[in-house]
Amino acid sequence: MSQEPDVNSHSPVSSRLPQHQTSHRPSREEAEAAVRTLIQWAGDDPDREGLVGTPDRVVRSYEEFFAGYDLDPVEMLQRTFEETDGYDEMVILRDIRLESHCEHHMVPIIGKAHVAYLPDRRVVGISKLARVVEVFSKRLQIQEKLTAQIANTINEVLQPKGVAVIIEAAHQCMTTRGIHKPGVTMVTSRMLGVFRDHPPTRKEFMSLVQGQHGSGLSNA
Ligand SMILES: [Zn+2]
């Protein structure tokens, strides 16, 4: 949980948007044709009644699933507030619903994220924290990278005293195929600044995340 490299040497904020996203983007027709191919590959007839509109629906679903490529999380966090009457305790957003897709199998990752930061004068609207989780989730991901991207971005833009992110999620590539282990969730975390260097702060965060509903996370 505390083995990550120093955040201060992390890549700059500008690297948050994939560089390749505008080059060679196929047309909608090409995307629909690819879905037809997959239907045929699965062994069905894409021209039968029930499937004839499926390529269109799948492509539109993809627009939702992967909407995060067109959004800039850095911009989302730019508007901050300094009139906080000296508020200097941690801010936690708990149980943020998380829906992503595994980049190895392109199947859902479903879970929740807990995001906290310790402000250094500036605070941000809480809905913006949830939006940052959403933007990075709506890309092809692995959970480790998703966790780090959320924490690093908040850290670099808000420059707080610390950031903590925990994600607990089930991966359908594990629950519905492969080794078929339903009920297994993966837990990842990234602790930066005081959450990393000051164990009592991390402990306070962990106990607040567990709250009364006991998420089963350890205090390690
Ligand atoms: Zn997978």
- Our answer to whether residue 143 is catalytic in this structure is yes
Q: Ligand 1 center to residue 146 CA distance, Å?
A: 14
For residues 112 and 168, the answer to whether their CB atoms sit within 8 Å is yes
Q: Which of 102, 134, 149, 168 is catalytic?
A: 102
pLDDT tens sequence for the chain (220 residues): 444 444 344 444 444 555 555 578 999 999 999 999 999 999 999 999 999 999 999 999 999 999 999 999 999 999 888 888 888 899 999 999 999 999 999 999 999 999 999 999 889 998 999 999 999 999 999 999 999 999 999 999 999 999 999 999 999 999 889 889 888 999 999 999 999 999 999 999 999 998 755 555 644 3
User: What is the third-level CATH fold of 26-65?
Assistant: GTP Cyclohydrolase I; Chain A, domain 1 (1.10.286)
Q: Ligand 1 center to residue 141 CA distance, Å?
A: 9
Q: Which of 114, 134, 141, 143 is catalytic?
A: 143
For position 121, what pLDDT does the model report? 87
Domain chopping of the chain, boundaries: 26-65, 81-210
- Our answer to whether residue 104 is catalytic in this structure is yes
Same fold? 26-65, 81-210: no
Residues 150 and 6: their CA atoms lie apart, in Å, by: 16
User: What is the third-level CATH fold of 81-210?
Assistant: GTP Cyclohydrolase I, domain 2 (3.30.1130)
- Our answer to whether residue 3 is catalytic in this structure is no
**pLDDT single digits (tens) 125-151:** 989 999 999 999 999 999 999 999 999
For position 179, what pLDDT does the model report? 87
For residues 150 and 115, the answer to whether their CB atoms sit within 8 Å is yes
Residues with CB under 5 A from ligand 1 (ion): 102, 104-105, 173
Q: Which of 29, 30, 63, 104 is catalytic?
A: 104
For position 88, what pLDDT does the model report? 83
Q: Which of 99, 105, 172, 198 is catalytic?
A: 105
Tokens of 77: 């966090």
Closest CA to 124 of 93, 152, 101, 164: 93
Three-state DSSP class for residue 152: helix
Q: Ligand 1 center to residue 207 CA distance, Å?
A: 30
Residues 170 and 172: their CA atoms lie apart, in Å, by: 6
- Our answer to whether residue 198 is catalytic in this structure is no
- Our answer to whether residue 105 is catalytic in this structure is yes
Q: Ligand 1 center to residue 172 CA distance, Å?
A: 7
Q: Ligand 1 center to residue 139 CA distance, Å?
A: 13
Q: Ligand 1 center to residue 175 CA distance, Å?
A: 10
Q: Ligand 1 center to residue 8 CA distance, Å?
A: 30
Q: Cα separations (Å) of 214 from 19, 64, 102, 188, 219?
A: 40, 32, 27, 17, 12
- Our answer to whether residue 171 is catalytic in this structure is yes
